[in-house]
């Protein structure tokens, strides 16, 4: 395949140049599934950047919606991370697996949850995303949302039945994370929702041990 054309095609995808992308594909239909040195396809690049029209034309021309790069990341993961709900819809409708995970066990839901993309989180859960899926460190989407203080996502995931007391590989819970972050209101909210303050991590520490000095006086009694 003409490498000059490949570079021209990738450049057009990166800039969102719909006309150039279409012209390149018309010249060489096989471009839609060509991978760069990192194993990324044009669909991955355009989905991540939010170019809806280009994503649609790539799908129409046979782009592999389940293709993975060298880190096993997919186009859906990139779209979810950046909050492109409509593109997520296009990809899922075309057969994308909402529960695919990369080499670190990270899913599209985890990425969206950590960055507070609540509309994408809701869409993915409604379309089969496993709420309590864990990554290589044993962390869930709810844990990510707590760590990043994404309140809307936290509330939604708990309403949908996310395990509030799940522990990661270090035995750390959402309550411990909220305590460590000094998120007073979140700590109180998690307790009301059933967070167990007596769970211990692998070092024998409870949530109260995670409190920073800035809010220890305020929360120490409720966590004891």
Where do runs of H (alpha helix) occur along the chain? 3-15, 18-27, 42-49, 52-60, 75-81, 85-93, 108-114, 118-126, 141-147, 151-159, 174-181, 184-192, 213-223
Provide the token pair at 29: 């239909």
Contacts of 168 (CB under 8 A, 6+ apart): 134, 137, 138, 139, 140, 143
Q: Check residue 155 and give its pLDDT.
A: 98
Dist CA 187 CA 208 (whole Å): 10
How confident is the model over 170-202, as pLDDT tens digits? 999 999 999 999 999 999 999 999 999 999 999
Number of domains in the chain: 2
State percent of the chain over pLDDT 70. Answer: 100
Whether residue 1 is predicted with pLDDT greater than 80 in this model: the reply is: no
How confident is the model over 71-109, as pLDDT tens digits? 999 999 999 999 999 999 999 999 999 999 999 999 999
Range of the domain at 197: 164-224
Residue 220 lies in a domain: yes
Q: Which of 17, 50, 71 is the last residue of a domain?
A: 71
Q: Which of 29, 48, 71 is the last residue of a domain?
A: 71
Exposed, middle or buried: residue 216 (CB in 10 Å: 0-12, 13-18, 19+)? middle
How confident is the model over 31-65, as pLDDT tens digits? 999 999 899 999 999 999 999 999 999 999 999 99
How confident is the model over 24-38, as pLDDT tens digits? 999 999 999 999 989
Residue 135 lies in a domain: no
Report the CATH number at residue 30: 1.25.40.20
Q: Which of 54, 71, 88 is the last residue of a domain?
A: 71
CA 69 to chain centre: 16
Residue 137 lies in a domain: no
Residue 95 lies in a domain: no
Whether residue 169 is predicted with pLDDT greater than 90 in this model: the reply is: yes
Residue 104 lies in a domain: no
């Amino acid at each position: 395949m003409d490498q000059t054309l490949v570079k021209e095609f990738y450049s057009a995808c990166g800039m969102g140049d719909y006309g150039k992308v279409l012209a390149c594909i018309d010249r060489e239909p096989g471009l839609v599934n060509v991978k760069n040195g990192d194993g990324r396809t044009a669909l991955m690049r355009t989905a991540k950047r939010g170019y809806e029209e280009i994503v649609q034309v790539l799908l129409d021309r046979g782009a592999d919606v389940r293709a993975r790069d060298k880190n096993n990341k997919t186009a859906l993961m990139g779209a979810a991370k950046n909050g492109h709900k409509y593109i997520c819809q296009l990809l899922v409708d075309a057969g994308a697996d909402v529960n695919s995970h990369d080499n670190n066990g990270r899913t599209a839901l985890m990425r969206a949850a950590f960055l507070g993309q609540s509309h994408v989180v809701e869409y993915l859960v409604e379309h089969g995303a496993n709420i309590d899926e864990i990554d290589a460190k044993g962390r869930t989407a709810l844990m990510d949302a707590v760590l990043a203080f994404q309140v809307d996502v936290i509330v939604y995931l708990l309403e949908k039945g996310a395990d509030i007391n799940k522990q990661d590989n270090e035995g750390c819970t959402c309550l411990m994370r909220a305590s460590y972050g000094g998120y007073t209101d979140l700590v109180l909210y998690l307790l009301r929702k059933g967070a167990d303050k007596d769970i211990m991590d692998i070092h024998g520490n409870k949530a109260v041990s995670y409190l920073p000095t800035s809010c220890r006086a305020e929360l120490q009694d409720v966590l004891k």
